[in-house]
Structure 1
Amino acid sequence: MPSEDYHKAMRQGLKEVKAAQALGEETGPRTLPDAPEKLAVRRESLGLAEIPVEQIDGTCNHLRGDAFSRGFYPILPADTEFAAKWSALCRIHLEEGIRDPVKVVEYLNHFYVMEGHKRVSVLKYFGAITIPATVTRLLPKPSDDPEVAAYYEFLDFYKMTGLNFIVFRQPGEYPELLEALGRSDSDAWSAEDIYSFRAFFYMFRDAYLRGDWDYTGISLAFLTYIKIFGYQESCGKMPSQICEELSRIRPEIQNRLENAGTALLLEDDVKKPRFSFYTPGRVCAAFIHDSSAAASKWVYSHEYGRHILENFTDGQVRTLSYENVRTDGEVDQAVEDAVRRGANVIFTTTPKLLLSSVRQAALHPDVKILNCSLNTSYPSVRTYYPRLYGAKFIKGAIAGTLTRDGCIGYVADYPTYGSIASINAFAQGARMVNANARIYLDWAHLRDGGAVGRLQAQGIVYIDYLDRLAASTGTQMGNRHNLALIQTHWGRLYQSLVRRVMEGSWKQEDQGSSAVNYWWGMEQGVVSVLCSRRLPTGPRRLAGVLREALKADRLDPFYGVLMDQSGRVVYGDDAPMPADRILSMNWLLTSVEGRIPQFKEFTEKAQELIKLQGVERQSEP
């Protein structure tokens, strides 16, 4: 009966009102913030369209706030004329169906009702997914506001697809979605592509809502899901399977919804356990590499760390190693084999294996999986990486004492998290001992190559490259004398990470919805600077003094006023710069000659890593 339906709908509306009052929020639908001519630089008529019912959350008439809850459920008493008209519409819907479209204004992906409030209310009560509407779009003035910037990305997405049910509020998320879908162009989608995407999304929607999630987060949840499990690989799944997988990656979704990001653990407070208290072989640690020790210095160094872990823990830890594991399928096989052989800790030693690691963590929640990367936002996989900028600061100071003309070369690998901090720390060290020092920056993985040669052609003698500071004595790399190099003690790092499992502190370091990243450097004994005997006594002693000062927190590379290349003050507090700002640096100091290249300037192999770990380039001044 329509009258019974009204009472049920009214109870739901009053429940929403009570919940909003408890939170001190508005109880009715949002109202259009201002007059259309003030809000928009122009308006567009979209004609008749199917709009998602959940996105109809506003009204153009503020008086309607007294008749509806935030979710457009009725709240006026059952003996009012309003209730009678609502019940009459309910009867029409049950007998004939509501055919007349409502009229709405769309602004920043919110739909505000002009005509048809009761139609929206009735259709929402009966569980409609979309509602036909005549839509007028108000286009805001472009600005740096994140929501506005994200909206203009939506407009590009809308031109390609005509789809309006994917809503992001932060810039960069629509391009992230397209990348996850495997679409690198801006061409219009075919009717078949649109149909397939829509069908899969609404199947995902059904699974998502079964999990008692709030609908407002569905777009971010969808993005997180397809990044981990793949879009094409998931299109054939049933809602029950998607629902199960969603429950497994709940921490990852919660991280995105709360914008919890990454918690950097900078100190290693876990003490060395008394290994005699543990059963031999209690911990089995598997190492998964994307190359081999014979072909890659990176893999070789991690394998050396693995041997130290196994050989210097009194038999308490046994290890497994898997090399040349590159594809998702190979990762699946390696993890399954490692788990079958008793592995309870798994290290994947490259950022390229991150998403595969997250997927495997969802499938094996009892196994602790760690990935060698920085600043990732997947709580189920902890990450680790050496903190290098302190050591780079020391090498910069060494170079500053040696150079005669103040010109020092620096060849960076990729503009990834932490790498810009290393460049700037090197420059800070050089300027500390030599006020005339200038750092000439080039990049090793540009498409045109030849970074070292370009610096040598400028007559630069001292060049930092591949974590080595060297003096050029000729035109060939073989004629460069290494003076100082950075060493990462992977064995020390792996021993400390495994101790967390052995002595039970793993759970204590949990950071809620935030991902955990161990970022350890010289203070924790993970990073050191080795000086050559060729280095004069003075610079060698200076390196020792700086090392002790950094370890004792008496010196910080990023303390005080810092200016970028445009002369803008980017940091001026009378305190060391926070670690998260150091990690995500995307600007260069005024003493650095060079720039951060655009993504397209790097080789394809470099681009793969930059997609995973690249810092966002600073906009041009």
Structure 2
Amino acid sequence: MPLEEYHKAMRQGLKEEKEAIARGEEPGLRVLPENPDTLAVRRESLGVVEIPSELIDGTCNDLRKNAFSRGFYPVLQEESEFAHKWSNLCKAHLEEGIRDPIKAVEYLNHFYVVEGHKRVSVLKYFGAISIPGVVTRLLPKPSDDPEVVAYYEFLDFYQMTGLNFVVFKRPGEYRELLQALGRTNREAWSAEEIYAFRSFYYMFRDACYRDNADRRYISVALLVYLKIFGYQQSRNKLSSEIGKELVKIRPEILNRLENAGATLVLEDAVKKPLFSFSTTGKICAAFIHGGSAATSKWVYNHEYGRYLLDNTMGDQVRTLSYENVLTDEQADEAIEDAVKKGADMIFTTTPKLLLPSVKAAVLHPDVKILNCSLNTAYPSVRTYYPRLYDAKFIKGAIAGTLVQDGRIGYVADYPTYGSIAGINAFAQGARMVNANARVYLEWANLKEGGGVERLHEKGIVYIDHLDRLAANTGNDMHGMHNLALIQCHWGRLYRSLVRRVVEGSWKQEERGSSAISYWWGMTQGIVGVLCSRRLPIGTRRLASVLRDAIREDRLDPFYGVLMDQQGRVIYGDDAPLPADQILSMNWLSAYVEGRIPAFDELTPKAQELVKLQGIQGLEGSVDP
């Protein structure tokens, strides 16, 4: 019988070798890349560790490399001495079990066997989940390599949990996992917490293997699954139930695996299909808000957009509205109610409702769900947001014509996608008309508060705050004369989005596993700048000229050489800066005085938003 088992294992190994060659890969085991003494900054003895079997995929001995396939199945002929020893070990395992731990080296979450290759092969063949081993960890030299950065984040996670089976290769994903698990600190996990998570993980792992997933897929799928369905809500599910839900979120998982991100749709120019399958009845569009129109200007503006949608497309659209949806549970209830009432489209008008929107979208694939946010990588939900930096550029130019000493104040709200572009565009506009212009940056949502007051104390007269440019004539914002403000035409935006469903052109914009994000601005008529008659007539004419030039694509705020506060050239091509780089800006212009705040300086409300929409490096952290 052991020889029969060897024959089966060898056939599997030869199959893996053939598949590796077909993919252009080298067959056989990984070999530790270099001499351990030069590979790592130091060694660390872990003692006896339960090693996840799928992470054992290499050897420290180059001579052992060709005796096994990448999955540690044997490939040498049945007449060999190797096959005889493997069969004897197989017999011992079936009769008594293999108890002796192997010896291995761990480097970047790969385990390379020093001693016990055949033990690993036999145990993996019989489906062992983990294999005991005496492990020496090699700590890599710190670097900017994303895999190394992610590994050092793993070490923090390992120190908290002692768990080594969840492996991420991109920075920030361990932090995301902790947030999805509801962990807000770095305290060590209790034995009960470790046991509960381990049990759930292996149930989840089983569901993935039933779907023929590989190990990289499992960790990424786990993160995406927990973000959408929640850990507490899922920890008692069976693998069969998890498996059904995994099928529904496969586009979200592939988006992250393929690093597909989001495709920015910058133009509102979808053509009506040649063979139109437009709807015959009325489209039902539901609006779900995180506040009320009576107390929130943001909600009021979206509700006014809904009102305009009703009044301009009333023969094609009917609408529903839900206010004060403040929690994920309330969002689930509101969305389910809208679906029951026949909603074909659902707009959730705050980034805080993103994850409930994704969950609803995968559960109701026939309903088009859109969230008012930017650059989110969930293909099941489309996102939309006004592109404001062109308008900020014009306001900066207006301010630049007014100041005598060149000092202009700017109070930003949150360090989220698009907001840094607004700051820099404002500075570009001011500098274009005033060679002495400097923008003094403050933030409205810091724990310490007082952003506007600090600008007043510096004697700065012109301050841009809450999308309006004002002249200081008193001690607070109530004593400031409004000179220019940004106007968002939400009704026009919602008409354009609904039109895609009415005319049957929705699917034309699909981009594989990439998410879709509509980012429309002045050129599309979604954003405008209103100028006060208090402004000099020459300044108003300048604003009009700049507006027309931007709308006709004759002017771009981020064209040519761009420098940061340290004097480094960030962009130097004789062309406009690409839209994705504008959206993801995490640097401030050389013309800006101030800084981007640290995460822990923000108010709790701001931190919640930044976790969802924060610029790279500021998406939130687990408190130390």
TM-score, length of structure 2 as denominator length: 0.97
Which position in structure 2 is the counterpart of 1:128? 128
Q: 1:97-150 deviations in whole A, cap 9, x for unaligned?
A: 111111110001100011111111111111111011111111111111111111
Which position in structure 2 is the counterpart of 1:118? 118
Matched AA of 2:382: R
Q: Does the CA contact (< 8 Å) of 1:270 and 1:499 recur in 2?
A: no
Which position in structure 2 is the counterpart of 1:29? 29
Change beyond 3 A, Cα 1:272–1:121: closer
Matched AA of 2:115: E
Distance 2:599 2:515 in 1: 26
1:537 is aligned to 2:516? no
Distance 1:177 1:618 in 2: 16
Matches within 5 A, 1:424-573: 424-573=424-573
Distance 1:416 1:67 in 2: 52
Distance 2:148 2:59 in 1: 20
Which position in structure 2 is the counterpart of 1:207? 207
Which position in structure 2 is the counterpart of 1:406? 406
Q: Does the CA contact (< 8 Å) of 1:108 and 1:148 recur in 2?
A: yes
Q: What is the DSSP-based 3-state SS (H/G/I as helix, E as strand, rest coil) of the residue aligned with 1:540?
A: helix
Which position in structure 1 is the counterpart of 2:622? none
Q: Does the CA contact (< 8 Å) of 1:281 and 1:318 recur in 2?
A: no
Distance 1:272 1:96 in 2: 71
Q: Does the CA contact (< 8 Å) of 1:3 and 1:87 recur in 2?
A: yes
Cα displacement (A) at 1:476: 2.9
Q: Identity of counterpart residues, as a percentage?
A: 73
Q: Does the CA contact (< 8 Å) of 1:587 and 1:618 recur in 2?
A: no
Distance 1:333 1:479 in 2: 43
Cα displacement (A) at 1:214: 1.8
Cα displacement (A) at 1:181: 1.1
Q: 1:472-521 deviations in whole A, cap 9, x for unaligned?
A: 11223222111111011111111111111111221111111111100111
Q: What is the DSSP-based 3-state SS (H/G/I as helix, E as strand, rest coil) of the residue aligned with 1:429?
A: helix
Matched AA of 2:187: D
Distance 1:264 1:168 in 2: 27
Which position in structure 2 is the counterpart of 1:168? 168
Which position in structure 1 is the counterpart of 2:370? 370
Matches within 5 A, 1:225-304: 225-270=225-270, 281-304=281-304
Q: 1:197-243 deviations in whole A, cap 9, x for unaligned?
A: 11111111111211222222211111111111111111121211111
Distance 1:587 1:183 in 2: 30
Q: 1:397-416 deviations in whole A, cap 9, x for unaligned?
A: 01111111111110100000
Q: 1:312-344 deviations in whole A, cap 9, x for unaligned?
A: 015100000000111122112111111111101
Q: What is the DSSP-based 3-state SS (H/G/I as helix, E as strand, rest coil) of the residue aligned with 1:524?
A: coil
Distance 2:277 2:30 in 1: 62
Distance 2:613 2:363 in 1: 24
Q: Does the CA contact (< 8 Å) of 1:280 and 1:317 recur in 2?
A: no
1:312 is aligned to 2:309? no
Q: Does the CA contact (< 8 Å) of 1:282 and 1:316 recur in 2?
A: yes
Cα displacement (A) at 1:617: 4.1
- Does 551-560 or 264-273 show the bigger shift? 264-273
Q: Does the CA contact (< 8 Å) of 1:473 and 1:479 recur in 2?
A: yes
Q: Does the CA contact (< 8 Å) of 2:471 and 2:480 recur in 1?
A: yes
- Does 352-361 or 172-181 show the bigger shift? 172-181
Change beyond 3 A, Cα 1:521–1:57: same
Cα displacement (A) at 1:280: 6.7
Cα displacement (A) at 1:563: 1.1
Which position in structure 2 is the counterpart of 1:88? 88
Which position in structure 1 is the counterpart of 2:39? 39
1:54 is aligned to 2:54? yes
Change beyond 3 A, Cα 1:279–1:217: closer
Which position in structure 2 is the counterpart of 1:584? 584
Which position in structure 2 is the counterpart of 1:336? 336
Q: 1:357-399 deviations in whole A, cap 9, x for unaligned?
A: 1111111111110000011111101000000000000100011
Cα displacement (A) at 1:537: 1.1
Change beyond 3 A, Cα 1:546–1:202: same
Distance 2:118 2:216 in 1: 22
Q: Does the CA contact (< 8 Å) of 1:586 and 1:618 recur in 2?
A: no
Distance 1:350 1:295 in 2: 15
Change beyond 3 A, Cα 1:183–1:455: same
Which position in structure 2 is the counterpart of 1:139? 139
Cα displacement (A) at 1:74: 1.1
- Does 289-298 or 600-609 show the bigger shift? 600-609
Which position in structure 1 is the counterpart of 2:379? 379
- Does 569-578 or 430-439 show the bigger shift? 569-578
Matches within 5 A, 1:185-204: 185-204=185-204
Matched AA of 2:124: K
Which position in structure 2 is the counterpart of 1:178? 178
Distance 1:96 1:219 in 2: 33
Cα displacement (A) at 1:616: 2.5
Distance 1:85 1:293 in 2: 76
Distance 1:556 1:182 in 2: 43
Distance 2:271 2:101 in 1: 68
Cα displacement (A) at 1:272: 8.2
Q: Does the CA contact (< 8 Å) of 1:596 and 1:617 recur in 2?
A: no
TM-score, length of structure 1 as denominator length: 0.97
1:358 is aligned to 2:358? yes
Cα displacement (A) at 1:568: 1.4
Q: What is the DSSP-based 3-state SS (H/G/I as helix, E as strand, rest coil) of the residue aligned with 1:205?
A: helix
Matches within 5 A, 1:319-330: 319-330=319-330
Distance 2:508 2:212 in 1: 28
Which position in structure 2 is the counterpart of 1:224? 224
Which position in structure 2 is the counterpart of 1:10? 10
Cα displacement (A) at 1:456: 1.5
Which position in structure 2 is the counterpart of 1:72? 72
Distance 1:388 1:88 in 2: 71
Cα displacement (A) at 1:279: 6.3
Q: What is the DSSP-based 3-state SS (H/G/I as helix, E as strand, rest coil) of the residue aligned with 1:456?
A: helix
Q: Does the CA contact (< 8 Å) of 2:469 and 2:482 recur in 1?
A: yes
Moved over 4 A (4+): 271-274, 276-281
Q: Does the CA contact (< 8 Å) of 1:273 and 1:499 recur in 2?
A: no
Cα displacement (A) at 1:270: 2.6
Change beyond 3 A, Cα 1:578–1:81: same
Which position in structure 2 is the counterpart of 1:607? 607
Matched AA of 1:141: K
Cα displacement (A) at 1:532: 1.1
Q: 1:54-91 deviations in whole A, cap 9, x for unaligned?
A: 00011101121211111111111112111111111111
Q: Does the CA contact (< 8 Å) of 2:57 and 2:112 recur in 1?
A: yes
Distance 2:558 2:522 in 1: 16
